[in-house]
């Protein structure tokens, strides 16, 4: 009988050890390496989700750091280290904590026209040239691929497609091209060939800018953030390296309603003056210098303040920025990119008008408890009422880097 009890006790102990080890490993991946909290949350109120009821934290101040930020009302930021414990006993992870005062931005929601200039000339694709005797592509033969960036031809910096066309037309023999593929510098030697009309060509499709409609997320007197995800080239799928550009006022003139398997879109036109200059295009959105002078201020919700409960999204479907009912149904607190939360549209009026989330809504602010929590970034193709959102904290961090 005693042996049986000992076996049961040993089994229970083994289950407990396995549970705590597995739980600690899972939690260590779901808890971010760093977090920003408000002063009122010092003392463990900020404990990250999930399973916060199993976690506790011991905080140790490390230094006092002062810096200025366009988004902060008071720029004092105290840094701390915190160790997260499972069941108050087992250390799970160390987290760097920044204790900040209230951060406020102007909330967006308005449709904007985006004209992004590429950094150099983007190769969208290659094509065959009918020379009269054969079909060939000198660009393809030289090893040029869609997504490549051309920055110089015969040593001359190129920034427009018209400039490239002129250099090809005036060429005598081979051209020396240089540029990049991903993070790697690369060069090519290409000799143009003449089509049946005698026009010199390289056999590639190129572009020097990308334009479209999106939604402004936030702005200040000096900066803005929009989209919440990078602008990618429609042909290559690669995100466009920014070489400048502008954002403009835009008007929504119609909606292609989304349905299962078919994403919808907002139909819009550029309708007004330039309101900002683009300085960066990255995983967390499009950022730049704001020319907007007034707006509605709203406090920022840090990741740890955001809950899986009711929220709103702010977007323009034709009548200017409006708030529509939504829910945050899942949080991914360790995310540093554009997929930090899963949201669901619950507003019948928005669903009736658009089907849910559609292209052009990217960047629409997500609001919870009268604070800006993030922005809409993606739609689930098989359920347009649901999609991903980015944490506003991630967008603000990228905005600071780009500045």
Residue 55 structure tokens: 């976690």
The active-site residue out of 137, 229, 338, 399 is 229
How far, in whole angstroms, is CA 354 from its chain's centroid? 22
Helix (H, G, I), strand (E, B) or coil at 245: strand
The 10 Å CB-count burial string (b at 16+, else e) for 273-286 is: eebbebbbbbebbb
Distance between CA 178 and CA 163 in Å, rounded?
Answer: 15
229 is catalytic: yes
Partners of 107 in the β-ladder: 218
256 is catalytic: no
List the Cα angle 156/162/168 in 5-degree steps.
Answer: 60
The active-site residue out of 38, 290, 362, 399 is 362
What φ, ψ does residue 170 adopt, rounded to 5°?
A: -90, 0
The active-site residue out of 235, 283, 347, 383 is 347
Distance between CA 403 and CA 388 in Å, rounded?
Answer: 26
Do 377 and 388 touch, CB atoms closer than 8 A?
yes
209 is catalytic: no
Do 192 and 138 touch, CB atoms closer than 8 A?
yes
Do 105 and 372 touch, CB atoms closer than 8 A?
yes
Do 313 and 377 touch, CB atoms closer than 8 A?
no
> What are the CA-CA distances from residue 141 to residues 126, 134, 135, 266 (Å)?
10, 14, 12, 40
Burial of 382 (0-12, 13-18, 19+ CB in 10 A): exposed
Task: Give the catalytic positions in this structure.
Answer: 229, 347, 362
């Amino acid at each position: 009988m005693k042996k049986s009890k000992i076996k049961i006790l040993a089994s229970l102990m083994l289950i407990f050890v396995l549970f705590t080890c597995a739980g600690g490993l899972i939690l260590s991946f779901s808890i971010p390496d760093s977090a920003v909290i408000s002063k009122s949350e010092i003392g463990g109120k900020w404990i990250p989700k999930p399973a916060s009821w199993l976690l506790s934290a011991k905080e140790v101040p490390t230094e006092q750091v002062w810096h200025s930020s366009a988004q902060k009302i008071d720029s004092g930021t105290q840094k701390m280290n915190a160790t997260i414990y499972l069941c108050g006993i087992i250390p799970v992870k160390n987290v760097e904590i920044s204790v900040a005062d209230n951060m406020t931005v102007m909330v967006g929601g308005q449709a904007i026209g985006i004209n992004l200039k590429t950094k150099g000339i983007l190769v969208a694709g290659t094509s065959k040239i009918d020379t009269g005797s054969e079909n060939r592509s000198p660009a393809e033969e030289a090893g040029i691929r869609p997504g490549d960036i051309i920055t110089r031809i015969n040593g001359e910096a190129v920034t427009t497609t018209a400039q490239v066309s002129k250099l090809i037309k005036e060429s005598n023999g081979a051209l020396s091209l240089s540029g990049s593929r991903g993070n790697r510098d690369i060069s090519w030697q290409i000799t143009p060939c003449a089509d049946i009309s005698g026009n010199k060509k390289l056999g590639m499709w190129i572009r020097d800018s990308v334009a479209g409609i999106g939604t402004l997320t936030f702005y200040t007197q000096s900066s803005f953030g929009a989209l919440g995800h990078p602008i990618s080239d429609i042909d290559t799928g690669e995100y466009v390296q920014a070489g400048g550009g502008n954002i403009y006022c835009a008007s929504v003139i119609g909606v292609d309603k989304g349905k299962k398997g078919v994403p919808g879109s907002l139909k819009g036109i550029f309708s007004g003056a330039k309101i900002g200059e683009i300085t960066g295009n990255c995983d967390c959105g499009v950022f730049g210098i704001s020319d907007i002078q007034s707006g509605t201020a709203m406090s920022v919700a840090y990741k740890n303040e955001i809950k899986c409960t009711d929220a709103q999204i702010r977007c323009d479907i034709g009548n200017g920025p409006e708030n529509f009912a939504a829910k945050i149904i899942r949080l991914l607190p360790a995310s540093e990119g554009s997929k930090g939360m899963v949201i669901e549209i619950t507003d019948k009026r928005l669903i009736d008008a658009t089907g849910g989330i559609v292209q052009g809504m990217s960047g629409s602010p997500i609001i919870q408890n009268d604070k800006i929590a993030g922005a809409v970034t993606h739609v689930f193709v098989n359920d347009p009422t649901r999609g991903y959102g980015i944490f506003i904290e991630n967008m603000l961090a990228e905005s600071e880097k780009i500045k």
